[in-house]
Amino acid sequence: MKKLFLFHSIVEMIGGVLLIFRPDLLLMSDGQAVELIIVSKLYGTLALTFGIISFLLYKVFQYSDTFKKIALLIMFFHLMVSFQMYAAYSQGIISNLGAFGLHMLLAVLFFGVYMNELNSFSARKDKAEN
C-alpha cells in the first residue's frame, strides 16, 4: 500500500503540472471557452495538491484504520471521476477516454492493493487491542 501511495503521488503531480501548463489537454476541444481553461487549471491545481498529500501519506504510512479509510476515499474519488469522464465522453463533451482510463486504472489499483493487504490492516488492529 505504501508503494501505491508513492505511485499515486507521482501520477497526480505529473497530471497536475501538465494541466496547469496545458489546460487544453483535459477536455481537448478546439476553441475552448475561457471558463473551461480555468476549470482545467483548477483541476490541475487539485491534482498537484492531491499528489503532494499522497506523497506525505507515503512518507508516514502505517497500517492503521485512518490509512485504511484514506485509501478507500482515494479509491472512491477515482471511481467517481472515471464515471463522470465516461459520461462526458458518452455525451460528446470530451473526445477520448484517456481521463476515464487513468482514473479507472487508479481506482482498480487501489482496490486490488487494498484487498490484497486488508489482512495487514486487521493484524495491526488485533495487535493494538491486545
**Position 35 confidence tier, pLDDT thresholds 50, 70, 90:** confident
Residue 12 lies in a domain: yes
DSSP conformation letters of the chain:
-HHHHHHHHHHHHHHHHHHHH-THHHH--TT--HHHHHHHHHHHHHHHHHHHHHHHHHHH--SSHHHHHHHHHHHHHHHHHHHHHHHHHHTTSSS-SHHHHHHHHHHHHHHHHHHHTHHHHHHHHHHHH-
Of 79, 52, 61, nearest in space to 121 by CA: 61
**22 within 8 A of 37, measured Cβ to Cβ:** no
- pLDDT score of 124: 65
pLDDT tens for each residue of 40-79: 899 999 999 999 999 999 999 999 999 999 999 999 999 9
Contact in structure between 101 and 89 (CB atoms under 8 Å) = no
Is pLDDT above 60 for 129? Answer: no
d(C-alpha 86, C-alpha 76), whole Å: 15
pLDDT of residue 81: 94
* Residue 74 lies inside a defined structural domain of this protein: yes
Sign for the CA dihedral angle at 7, 11, 12, 16 comes to: positive
Among 9-13, 20-24, 28-32, 55-59, whose mean pLDDT is lowest? 28-32
Q: Considering the domain boundaries, does residue 20 fall inside one?
A: yes
**Backbone phi, then psi, for 28, in 5-degree steps?**
50, 50
**Domain count along the chain:** 1
Structural domain contains residue 130: no
pTM: 0.85
Residue 79 in any domain: the answer is: yes
Q: Which domain holds residue 22?
A: 2-124
